[in-house]
A and B are shown apart, each in its own frame.
Chain A
Amino acid sequence: METLMAVAVGLLFAVGVYLILSRSLLRIVLGTSLLTHGVHLLLLTMSGLKTGAAPLLGEDAGRYVDPLPQALILTSIVISFGVTSFFFVLAYRAYQKLGTDDMEQLRGQEDEY
């Protein structure tokens, strides 16, 4: 199962990177979103997908799945949500202000100090 997941995560990364390299701001934001998913799945996969009970002690099972990566991923989800929403609004404001979402046209000023 880990092998299968590794391939799927690789695909998520590849598509994310491809989108980030494109010209439209919207695609770039979508790309970061996909990359985030890839990273989270990778975190989960790397800790081993050995089956066991959910990490709830009430279940009284013989073994549980590793709870630590889950805590890490939860933190990461929240942080990436914060960053992504900031990024959304930034893209929105940039478009409102500059009138374009084409990254090739957003090259900064010639006479920047």
Chain B
Amino acid sequence: MSILIALILLPFLFAAVVPPLYKYVRCIHTGWFVLAVPVVLFVYFLSCIPVIQGGEQLAAEIPWIPSRGIYFSVYLDGLGLLFALLISGIGALVVLYSIYYLSKSKEAIGQFYVYLLIFMGAMLGVVLSDHLMVLYGFWELTSISSFLLIAFWHKRERSRYGAKKSLMITVLGGMALLCGFIMLYIMTGTFSIREIIADLPSVNGHALFLPALLLVLLGAFTKSAQFPFHIWLPDAMEAPTPVSAYLHSATMVKAGIYLVARLSPVFAGQAEWFWLVSAFGMVTLLYGSLNAVKQTDLKALLAFSTISQLGLIMGLLGLGSAAAYYGIGGESLLYTTATTAAIFHLINHATFKGSLFMVAGIIDHETGTRDIRKLGGLAALMPVTFSIAAIGTLSMAGLPPFNGFLSKEMFFTAVLKTVHMDLFSLQTWGSLFPVIAWIASVFTFIYSMLLLFKTFMGKFQKDQWDRKPHEAPIGMLISPVVLASLVLVFGLFPNLLAYSLIEPAMASIMPELLAPGEKFVVSIQFWHGWTTELMMTFGVVAAGIGLAVSHKRWKGVYGRLPQVFSLNYLYDRGLGWLGLGSNRLTSGYMTGSIRSYLAYIFTFFILLLGYVLLRTPGIQFSINSTAPIAYYEIALVIALVLSTAAVPFARSRLTAIILTGTVGYLVTMFFIIFRAPDLALTQMIVETVSVSLFLLCFYHMPKLKKELSKLRFRLSNALIAAGVGLMVTLIALGAGGSGKFASIADFFVEESYKLAGGKNIVNVILVDFRGFDTLLEIMVLGIASLGIFTMIKLRLEGRDIGARVLYNKGELSLGAVNRDTASQEVTEAHEAYEAAVRAKEASMKGGQTGGQKQ
């Protein structure tokens, strides 16, 4: 097995070791052991950079279900490496942070690290898989482990709500993704991403191309919290802060981004892809930044900020896909800025957002609140935290000299270039992009400043906090300090990233733009002259400061928006309506009355068979080959018809039973005239026994009441019954009339005596030719008689009812009932039940004697 596969499986294997470590090594925080995993991964992936930079790929494959063409195949290229470094690097920092954040005595940290390791392995699997089905498997595993992590404090109602919501939305997208992948397979005949990319001509123009595109995008948008599927992300903030920092800012929410980037070679260059990805990204960017301003909870603000920044990255990927339209050439390279910006901002966002989440966690830890209205003046108390927060927020706002500034300048460059494109009818709508980008940047600036100033500046609200705040312990500060330094380093020396990570990643996203042997050359300059982009940034800062200062005056606007338009409201009500609707639907047709169910069954029978009879050509109702009719046969048929038709009209139960018996004896007569002596004998005996059994049983039953149901019911019953009768008649006629094969009866007639030594052919068939039927039919009779015997003799209810009553109360299921009270309740329930039985028996006896007297 290759080292690449071993490394993906490492977190899973280590997750199995965590519980015993947690249980037996109590003196050391389990997190220290776990820390080794991401560190090892990170070091390995760092060592891969030179190889990948040289344009090579690492690949490995082991068979999983070879007969179905499913291989556990992985490969490492520029894009995969970028994500793998993010996952393992930030994973290591988050684990380190969590060691100080989660108390080893108060929290179930064993479970925490198991879930976190599963997530880490799954995420690595997503970004390194080559096989689509394997990718989907890991994709769902990230959803499940994220669900477990959000509900880590599962005793809180909000945590469970958030976990459920995120699971439902991401799994919905996951299902869509699965359908999209299957369509890709149908089009190309392979599950391998690399082979699909190599086989593009069979994808383009295929009828399934657009559905596959839409479904894949649905999966990517739900995972990456794009509008309107973003609603799960703010509720996922109920998770412990290390989880929020890791999953919901740096890794999982970027799985959708990864997918869009990974499948760009397949879909890019199409107008649908360009517009959907760019438009959803831009709308999410704007919506997220507008909503972040009104949040008062630090983590909710960061969540909406994440949504907004994810929208930005997604939008940039969409804009970058236009380059694929031009193919190899000078013009296409002009439009790759957007893709470069997307990758660069992806890294930048992971660094500053991770550090900001950790800052929020520290503040929560030190003051006991995350409410921005209760915070203030922390700068003097927590200077280090303040510095980290300042670097993070200024980078997020897009100010120099931090990395956010560079990616925002590139973002502006990309949207400005979009205006000049003349494809996909961009001439008309393209000018919207810079406007949206600028407004969103202004609001990004506002919420970044609000976050920084409301938390760390202003009044010191000591009475609002339940503990005395002071600087966080040094261990908690290491991770955010590392991230904040990266923000600075990447801001000052962006080309460190450009050569090592961004160029190979671009080669993975846009391979069709490179002739063999070529490679992208990305150079990010800190100072690019007095350009339009710089002017836009000045405008952002000016408008942002103005609006942030006057924030108190206009923030009331948010309260004016009606609740009905909120997407959460729609989601909650929609879920409620779904539950209510399906409940009503089910209780509408599941009436509990057996008559309704039989009516459904018979109606379906009539409709299906009627349709088939109408549609099937060549059914003949021929009467050529029928036997002649004798006069006594007519008399028998008339008798049968009359006695049958009379049964429903019988007033007394005796008449009904006798009439049914008559039908049975008439059937015996038919057996006689149709020359079946054995049948006649059996039928006569069985009919006699049945009628006596009837009389015996129904002596105890009440008198046959007149049907009390409404006329409408009786009419519909009659209609169904007539339909069934008609269908059976038609089928009998049709089957009898069509051409037949010769019967195998001749064999039995000829061989009965020769082979079996019997002259009664029917009996020979029953015991010799087809003896197995008889054997099992004897068994049926045996079972029936044993069943009847059991039913009459076995009276268990006195003994098991106590348990049942308790079970219904739901007390046994809890398993925490005091044994004494439980047994006492059993006795009480038993006594109550016996009293009820006695009362019922008495009333029945009374009813019977009363009935007899009448």
Set of chain A residues within 8 Å of B698, measured between Cβ atoms: 26, 92
Asked if A96 contacts B700 (CB within 8 A), the reply is yes
5 closest cross-chain pairs (CB), A and B: A14-B725, A10-B729, A107-B592, A18-B721, A82-B784
Set of chain A residues within 8 Å of B371, measured between Cβ atoms: none
Q: Say which residue of B660, B667, B721, B773 sits within 8 Å of A14 (CB atoms).
A: B721
Please give the residue numbers on chain A whose beta carbons come within 8 Å of chain B beta carbons, in ascending order. Answer: 1-27, 29-30, 33-34, 37-38, 40-42, 44-58, 64-68, 70-71, 73-75, 77-79, 81-86, 88-93, 95-96, 99, 101, 103-104, 106-108, 111, 113
Asked if B743 contacts A15 (CB within 8 A), the reply is no
When C-beta atoms are compared, the residue in chain A nearest to B744 turns out to be: A68
Interface pairs (22), CB distance under 8 Å = A1-B633, A4-B637, A12-B725, A14-B722, A17-B725, A26-B656, A44-B671, A45-B732, A49-B626, A49-B674, A55-B762, A56-B760, A65-B676, A67-B761, A68-B743, A74-B762, A74-B766, A82-B781, A83-B784, A89-B791, A95-B700, A113-B807
Chain B nearest Cβ from A88, distance in angstroms: 5
Asked if B791 contacts A95 (CB within 8 A), the reply is no
Q: What number of residue pairs across chains A and B have CB atoms under 8 A from each other?
A: 278
Chain A nearest Cβ from B380, distance in angstroms: 62
Asked if A108 contacts B592 (CB within 8 A), the reply is yes
When C-beta atoms are compared, the residue in chain A nearest to B709 turns out to be: A23
Interface of B is mostly: helix
Q: Quick one: which of B722-778 are within 8 Å of A by CB?
A: 722, 724-726, 728-729, 732-733, 735-736, 743-745, 748-749, 752-753, 759-762, 765-766, 770, 773-774, 777
Chain A nearest Cβ from B808, distance in angstroms: 6
Given contacts A2-B627, A3-B733, A33-B663, 9 further A-B contacts (CB under 8 A): A40-B683, A49-B626, A51-B627, A64-B745, A74-B678, A77-B683, A77-B686, A78-B780, A101-B701
When C-beta atoms are compared, the residue in chain B nearest to A7 turns out to be: B729
Confirm or deny: B705 has a beta carbon within 8 angstroms of a beta carbon on chain A: yes
Set of chain A residues within 8 Å of B784, measured between Cβ atoms: 82-83, 85-86
Q: Say which residue of A42, A49, A111 sits within 8 Å of B728 (CB atoms).
A: A42
Contacts A17-B721, A30-B656, A56-B761 given; indicate if A6 touches B729 (C-beta within 8 A). Answer: yes
Confirm or deny: B381 has a beta carbon within 8 angstroms of a beta carbon on chain A: no
Interface of A is mostly: helix
Contacts A45-B736, A67-B748, A89-B788 given; indicate if A3 touches B676 (C-beta within 8 A). Answer: no
Q: Say which residue of B693, B766, B783, B792 sits within 8 Å of A71 (CB atoms).
A: B766
When C-beta atoms are compared, the residue in chain B nearest to A108 turns out to be: B592
Confirm or deny: B579 has a beta carbon within 8 angstroms of a beta carbon on chain A: no
Of the stretches B52-60, B148-156, B239-247, B645-653, the one at the interface is B645-653
| A41 CA to B732 CA, complexed, in Å | 11
Set of chain B residues within 8 Å of A2, measured between Cβ atoms: 623, 626-627, 732-733, 736
Asked if A17 contacts B676 (CB within 8 A), the reply is no
Contacts A17-B725, A89-B791, A92-B701 given; indicate if A78 touches B748 (C-beta within 8 A). Answer: no
Chain B nearest Cβ from A80, distance in angstroms: 8
